[in-house]
Structure 1
Amino acid sequence: MILTNLMESHTEDSLTDIASRVYHEYDLTVARDIMKSICLNSPSSEIQKTGMEYLYMNAYFRELDQLIEKNRESINPSNRLWGNIYRLMIDLFNQHTSPDKTLHYLDYFKTRYTIKEPEITLLIKLIRETCFYYKRNYRRLGDLIATYETHLDEVKERILVNFFKVRIYRFYTVFHMARNELIIARKYAYKALNINESILLEAAIHSHLGLSYTFDTYEKGMYHLKKAQQISQKHNIRLYKHRVENNFIPLLSGKFKKVDEVQSMDKAEQAHLEVARGDYDKALDLLETVRIETPLQRYYLGLAKQDKDILIQSYNEFILNNNDFFYSRLPLEALDL
């Protein structure tokens, strides 16, 4: 009844207007549930488009999948384009397609469509940045940072502006963290959290904050990683929960040698934990089953073998391949021991 009344009495309202009323009149949990239903059931073509961003940022993945398909089947060309772009984005998020294929598809969309909507222009840029982030190409993350304000100024829907800002601040956090500019990175992380618009990125931002303490304080780092774990578990964000539990917490725990009851399904992280426990032979046995593809995995191998040449190689890969001056400190620190 609430949903019907809202949709019938506010047929011309934007998603921002409806959200403002709903969040004012109901508690947060009820408001999000109402907004989820409005996004999924509204007859408005505009809300069908902007609703996808709301569902994504609030981790309503099942409903998002339904709304994406509704847009892709729309008679409205704009809705079909939005639906196709969000399908591409969510397939990347769910690891159903690779960053390289996603970049290729984005180029295809740009050649096939004349894109005049600033929201889609910015969304495509955000997906590109996500691809570079997944590829650990932190040098390329600066592309969006240099131009985002111009694009945001052209987006009229206020709720989208806030969602896009959170996404951009997340990339700021990653970019400055990779440059080892931790004060700036944490500043943008807290700016993102203060907007308080996204369950999904709240978990991600806490993960970045937690890992930013890798060389500082175990307690502060673990506080944020546990927050990320709790958010992911509460809202069933399985991919984030898996990464926090199997990669981030073991990494921080192994670094500070606080490994009691810490486990991981990731063989490389298991090896790191064994190094922290002093069992180098077991660590090497585990790493024999791992295809060493990243500087971090090579760092673990260098630790397990106590091999300075491997650690130097890891350092060079962090710098030359990833432009990552933060995690390059791991092998550099190990070389000093």
Structure 2
Amino acid sequence: MAQTKTMIGTIRDCFESENQLQFPQFLTMISLDSDEAAQLELAKEFLFASKSDSDKRLALEYFYINQCYQELQCFIEINKESMNELNQELAIIYQFMLDIRNGKPVHEIRTNSKSVSVKHPELRCLKYFLHIEVDIKVYNYERIGYYLNKIQKQLRHVDNPLFITFFQIRMKILLFQYYWKRNELILARKHAYEALQMPHHVKQKAKLHLDLALSYLYEDFQSSVYHIEEANYIASCLDDQKTLEHIANHTYPFICAHFGEVDGVSTTDPIEKAHLEIAKGNYQLAKTMLEHLDIVTPFTQYYLGLATRKQHFFIYSYQHFMEKRSDHFFARLPLKASEGLGI
């Protein structure tokens, strides 16, 4: 706490001096003597105090890659009011990205984004990132590689090194998702581990660890638990209650049920409650629980297959994963279960 107060004093000094620090220099300075969780809070203080147009643009991507969506919305509004045309145009694209996460219809975003200017290399990169976000929303993972190649070519024209770093973080995480969904796990983990070594996106690292935990579903319980513990540690340091809740009620019970390690495990999620009952051998109870839900997903159909030993549930689940989600990784769940039951 004392260190944080000292650094906040340093932030005030930065803006009172004649040679004001820019955000890239400030990030470098605080990275020398504070951990990543503290850096995120200090960066917020700095960016809200900065008057620099460049810093206001960087704030958009910094908060996006850190999943700080409330702060991102604030800076979208700030940049919309800027006299700088580039700031205004960037704000429009980030608003589209936030709209996707807030559930706005994808076809509306796809249509409305066609009018967005791409005169600057940052805008061209972000337009491609927006296309990727739209495709991911509709589970079209196949086109990620196409757009990432386009972004890579544009990066050489971006003149702000910190923007390049932020975009490279995004690219690494997207490459992980791309290869993970294609079930190419060696390549997927390579990009994930490289992303974890990169600075400035601590909040997203918790999510990355959770996805890595899931990537070990067909291999090793202990490796999955290791990544869950890492995610839990990061989320605890950040007091990120949403991620902590997701770990406790979704990812951890899902992995425990999958591996049959269910002693003392509980959840508030009704779907994962049924999954835990299946792992305990309470098939009829799990079937009843699942049939009372209004939710039909490839996971619920997979669980019904496990509970009833009926092939058509596995077929539905497999086809849904493959045809509607382009998800070769999770499609292995019903496939392996069907083979294991000999049906």
TM-score, normalised with respect to structure 2: 0.87
Name the residue aligned to 2:114.
110
Q: Deviations over 1:41-89 (max 9, x none)?
A: 2111111111222233345444333322222223333222222332332
Does 2:227 align with 1:224? Answer: yes
Name the residue aligned to 1:295.
298
CA change 1:120–1:11 in 2 (3 A) is: farther
Can you give the 5+ residue segments of structure 1 that lack an aligned partner in the other structure?
none
Contact 1:176 1:185 in 2 (8 A): yes
Question: Using the alignment, how far apart are the partners of 1:144 and 1:238 within structure 2?
Answer: 33
Letter in 2 for 1:281: Q
Contact 1:274 1:280 in 2 (8 A): yes
Letter in 1 for 2:34: D
What is the root-mean-square deviation in Å for CA atoms of aligned residues?
Answer: 2.4
Q: Deviations over 1:7-62 (max 9, x none)?
A: 344767643233223434x4235544332222112111111111222233345444
CA change 1:40–1:107 in 2 (3 A) is: farther
Question: Using the alignment, how far apart are the partners of 1:319 and 1:50 within structure 2?
Answer: 37
- Alignment counterpart, residue 283 of structure 2, candidates 262, 277, 280: 280
Question: Using the alignment, how far apart are the partners of 1:232 and 1:265 within structure 2?
Answer: 19
Name the residue aligned to 2:61.
53
Contact 2:306 2:337 in 1 (8 A): yes
Question: Using the alignment, how far apart are the partners of 1:87 and 1:320 within structure 2?
Answer: 30
Following superposition, the deviation at residue 289 of structure 1 comes to 2.9
Contact 1:58 1:199 in 2 (8 A): yes
CA change 1:135–1:268 in 2 (3 A) is: farther
Name the residue aligned to 2:6.
none
Does 2:256 align with 1:253? Answer: yes
Secondary structure of the residue that 2:301 maps to in structure 1?
helix
Question: Using the alignment, how far apart are the partners of 1:233 and 1:71 within structure 2?
Answer: 32
Q: Could you tell which deviates more after superposition, 254-263 or 216-225?
A: 254-263
Following superposition, the deviation at residue 191 of structure 1 comes to 0.7
Name the residue aligned to 1:97.
103
Following superposition, the deviation at residue 224 of structure 1 comes to 0.4
TM-score, normalised with respect to structure 1: 0.88
Contact 2:60 2:94 in 1 (8 A): yes
Q: Deviations over 1:271-295 (max 9, x none)?
A: 1111111111221122123334432
Contact 1:209 1:224 in 2 (8 A): yes
Identity of matched residues, %: 29
Question: Using the alignment, how far apart are the partners of 2:156 and 2:172 within structure 1?
Answer: 16
- Alignment counterpart, residue 198 of structure 1, candidates 189, 197, 201: 201
Does 2:162 align with 1:156? Answer: no
Aligned length: 331
- Alignment counterpart, residue 34 of structure 1, candidates 30, 35, 42: 42
Does 2:137 align with 1:130? Answer: no
Question: Using the alignment, how far apart are the partners of 1:239 and 1:133 within structure 2?
Answer: 21
Name the residue aligned to 2:325.
322
Name the residue aligned to 1:143.
146
